[in-house]
Amino acid sequence: MFAARRLILLALVALAACGGNDPAGPSTGSLALAVSGLPTGTLAAVTVTGPGGYAHAAGGSETLSGLVPGAYTIAADPVSSNGQSYAPAQNVQSVTVEQSVTATTAQVRYDAAAGGSLTVTVSGLPGGAAASVSVSGPGGYQRDLTGTTTLATLEAGVYTVTAQTVSASGTQYDPSPAIQSVNVTNGASASAGVGYSQATSAGLNLRIDGLYLTQSVQTYLGAVPLVKNRDGFLRVFVTATESNLAAPAVRVRFAVSGVVIKDTVLGPNGLAVPLSPSEASLSTSWNMPVPGALIQPNLTVLAEVDPANAVTETNEADNFFPASGAPLPLDVRTVSTFAVRFVPVLQTVNGLQGGVTNSNKAGYLTAAMRVHPLASFDADLRAPLITSAPAVQADDATTWTQILNELRAARISDGNTRFYYGVIKPAYSSGIAGIGYVGYPVALGWDKPGADLVAAHEWGHNWGRDHAPCGQAGNPDMGYPYANGDIGVYGFDVASRTIKPPTYKDLMGYCNNEWISDYTYTGVMDYRSTQADVQGAFAQAMQPCLLVWGRIVNGEPVLEPAFQVVTRPSLPAEPGAYRLDGRAMDGSTLFDLRFTPERVGDDPSGGAQFAFAVPLQPDRAARLDAIRLAAPGHPVVSRRAASAAGASRVTATRLNGRRVGLRWDAATHPMVMVRDPVTGEVLSFARGGRTEIVTDRGALDLQLSTGVRSGSLHLSVPRR
């Protein structure tokens, strides 16, 4: 996830290149973007990427200077203006910027797109009678229809078709459905039907068109499952056959397994009963907060308008919902407690530590508890993970992914089954804000304002969700059902009792005005129902294992030094095209894994990572001579022991306060795992022969890796 409010559009990064043979000549180049075809005042959606992680978002014509010579990619996304869509003539193009005073030119032309179409078919009215149908949609689109009509060149998005009762020759006709949503996509035809039927008699009649119980997001037909023990909000939509000043009550009865547990009467919110249902305002529905204690499996609801017959109607027999008078079953599901461990990340390069504590950790869960299908959480706080990686950068995910890999390795070495969420304090306030695996319970996020939304986004990745197509988010979910990353149906914030219209954006994209779609909500619920958040404590016994881990960076495989640890085994869930094996000096195979690395949802380079705890008894580990990583399309990467003999000398120096300096021979031991001697938690994966550890302990436990195996050392450290 990128930037405050998740904006992936990055600021210009000026990178200097080494000069050519002529020291007086230019060492960089420039690129002149010429954007055309858009109405005045309409911003383009163009992104330029290039060497060294360069990325720049352009809203129109401009010249980019100080560029490192090399190949640059120009990507353009469709935009809309005043209800009209504009598509780039070329979505992606490549140009080569040369070391010159003359700018390389690139043309980005937009053309008015055909958009999509929507055919609204009206039936059931006598000849010459005018229907009363309205269509609303993106960008404030509004069109009133009196009969069957095809609306062309529509901007992609969700459109609402609302129909009202009409009168013709003294006879009233009721529409069905009174309200419906239709998703219009570019280049495709969508349809909606409104069928009118003759009312039983003229005059005022009341009926309940629909109702639903929402906890975060809900369709008008109530198709989104509910979460047991989570607070909800009931909306009942009453309609009338003619204009009125009626103020009927609505009786609602909740029952569990046939036993009524709540029987209440709701008063009106407006001065009249509307002629058609509207989800856009709480004043057009009869409403009730529903405490989580009432929302249980086998829950049903039955509603009745005007139960005391205080309003004179032409038909008193159609006041129930469901119309049959039988209670409506609600789909209530039991979900597991979300167990998460927060991990402050301390960057030794600048001394910045992520701002998560026992007193504020619940604040990181605020957005997730409002939008995701969760009923409760269990959060704890771990000792900081100290990283010697370079400082995280606003526009380069490389260090973020390295720390993510270290956090995953720490979780496996800890033998812990909670979700791990690392918290970083960047030195910047706009740029990359978070990163997480797709389908694996480890993620990182910053501690800036909006940190809870970042966490909710990253946990969405951990629960198997890809990006919603909004804000140029990479690797978008091709099955996402709503254009422009819209949530598509009405969301509702139960805590603030605030409606979120369908044009709000799904939090799995990179746009503002975020909520959650029914698609993402049910996807997360389904994933959590099949993938337990916390395994049983004895699902895997603690035993000697070898930690083997690494990542794929810009397509290149990286194999990190291995460690012998006592932890719970963690092996590939299923075989894949990648291969890890361990060989003894005689060539025999000690372990052999086939796997697919986990994707990193917010890595623009398409990175992936892996970490496994392979059961390996000490006698077999002592025979290990080489570890090999085979990635499709790349030469095999291997590690051999850096030294055949024992551990190098490690020195510990108390620097000041809680800071302890460690030094060792990096040629013999390229990496050292530092662990707390009391809790056993991994404090750091230290590289390069020196690092700093923050501790009050009088000792540290070290695992010194030779590259393929490791030796243990209990090291005393000076007291303060």
User: For 321-349, how does the pLDDT look when each residue is reduced to its tens digit (9 = 90+)?
Assistant: 999 999 999 999 999 999 999 999 999 99
Contact criterion met (CB below 8 Å) for 192 and 176: no
For the chain, the distance separating the N- and C-terminal CA atoms, rounded to the nearest angstrom, is 41
Q: What is the mean pLDDT of residues 129-137?
A: 92
Q: For all residues of the chain together, what is the average pLDDT?
A: 90
pLDDT at res. 671 = 95
Per-residue HEC secondary structure of 332-351 comes to EECCCCEEEEEEEEEECCCC
Give the whole-angstrom CA distance, residue 626 versus residue 612.
Answer: 16
Q: Is 321 exposed, middle or buried (0-12, 13-18, 19+ CB in 10 A)?
A: buried
Q: Which range, of 92-96, 146-150, 376-380, 401-405, averages the lowest pLDDT? A: 92-96
Per-residue confidence band for 501, with pLDDT thresholds at 50, 70 and 90: very high
User: For 620-630, how does the pLDDT look when each residue is reduced to its tens digit (9 = 90+)?
Assistant: 999 999 999 99
Is residue 23 scored above 90 in pLDDT?
Answer: no
Report the b/e string of 221-240 with b at 16+ CB within 10 A.
Answer: ebebbbbeebbbbbbbbbbb
pLDDT at res. 83 = 57
Q: What is the mean pLDDT of residues 420-446?
A: 96
pLDDT at res. 113 = 67
Per-residue confidence band for 400, with pLDDT thresholds at 50, 70 and 90: very high
CB under 8 Å to 340, separation ≥6 — which residues?
Answer: 365, 377, 378, 379, 380, 418, 419, 420, 421
Label residue 166 left, alpha or beta by phi (over 0 means left) and psi (-120 to 50 means alpha): beta
Report the b/e string of 541-568 with b at 16+ CB within 10 A.
Answer: eeebbbbbbbbbbeeebbbbbbbbbebb
User: For 58-67, how does the pLDDT look when each residue is reduced to its tens digit (9 = 90+)?
Assistant: 999 999 988 8
Q: What is the mean pLDDT of residues 585-603?
A: 93
Beta strands in 257-337 (DSSP E): 259-266, 286-290, 299-305, 320-321, 328-329, 332-333
User: For 382-393, how does the pLDDT look when each residue is reduced to its tens digit (9 = 90+)?
Assistant: 999 999 999 999
Give the whole-angstrom CA distance, residue 60 versus residue 613.
Answer: 51
pLDDT at res. 649 = 86
Q: Which range, of 12-26, 98-112, 188-202, 354-368, averages the lowest pLDDT? A: 12-26
Q: What is the mean pLDDT of residues 123-145?
A: 90
Is residue 4 scored above 50 in pLDDT?
Answer: no
Per-residue confidence band for 114, with pLDDT thresholds at 50, 70 and 90: low
* Residue that wins the pLDDT comparison between 555 and 358: 358
Per-residue confidence band for 538, with pLDDT thresholds at 50, 70 and 90: very low
Of 461, 597, 465, nearest to 523 by C-alpha is 465
pLDDT at res. 647 = 55
Contact criterion met (CB below 8 Å) for 123 and 131: no
Per-residue confidence band for 10, with pLDDT thresholds at 50, 70 and 90: very low
pLDDT at res. 22 = 39
- Alpha carbon separation from 401 to 311, 546, 604, 629, 692 (Å, rounded): 65, 22, 11, 19, 21
Phi, psi of 6 (to 5 degrees): 60, 40
Per-residue confidence band for 521, with pLDDT thresholds at 50, 70 and 90: very high
345 token code pair: 């990340």
pLDDT at res. 9 = 30
User: For 137-186, how does the pLDDT look when each residue is reduced to its tens digit (9 = 90+)?
Assistant: 887 788 999 999 999 888 888 899 999 888 888 788 888 888 898 998 88
477 token code pair: 């979910």
Is residue 52 scored above 80 in pLDDT?
Answer: no
Contact criterion met (CB below 8 Å) for 708 and 642: no
Q: What is the mean pLDDT of residues 551-575?
A: 92
Gyration radius (Cα) of the chain, Å: 31
Q: What is the mean pLDDT of residues 484-498?
A: 96
pLDDT at res. 87 = 78
pLDDT at res. 5 = 34
CB under 8 Å to 508, separation ≥6 — which residues?
Answer: 457, 460, 461, 465, 466, 467, 468, 473, 477, 485, 520
Using DSSP, how many helices (H) and how many strands (E) does the chain show?
5, 54
Phi, psi of 369 (to 5 degrees): -70, -20
- Alpha carbon separation from 691 to 76, 389, 411, 641, 678 (Å, rounded): 44, 10, 21, 22, 21
Q: What is the mean pLDDT of residues 272-281?
A: 94
Indicate the residue type of 539: A
User: For 36-48, how does the pLDDT look when each residue is reduced to its tens digit (9 = 90+)?
Assistant: 988 887 889 898 9
123 token code pair: 């039936």
* Three-state SS at 53: helix
Give the whole-angstrom CA distance, residue 176 versus residue 191.
Answer: 15
Is residue 496 scored above 90 in pLDDT?
Answer: yes
pLDDT at res. 627 = 97
Indicate the residue type of 158: V
Of 199, 178, 177, 164, nearest to 315 by C-alpha is 199
Paired residues of 263 in beta bridges: 253
Identity of the highest mean pLDDT range in 25-29, 81-85, 356-360: 356-360
Antiparallel, parallel or unpaired: β 505-506 and 514-515 = parallel
Per-residue confidence band for 84, with pLDDT thresholds at 50, 70 and 90: low
Give the whole-angstrom CA distance, residue 279 versus residue 293.
Answer: 26
pLDDT at res. 8 = 33
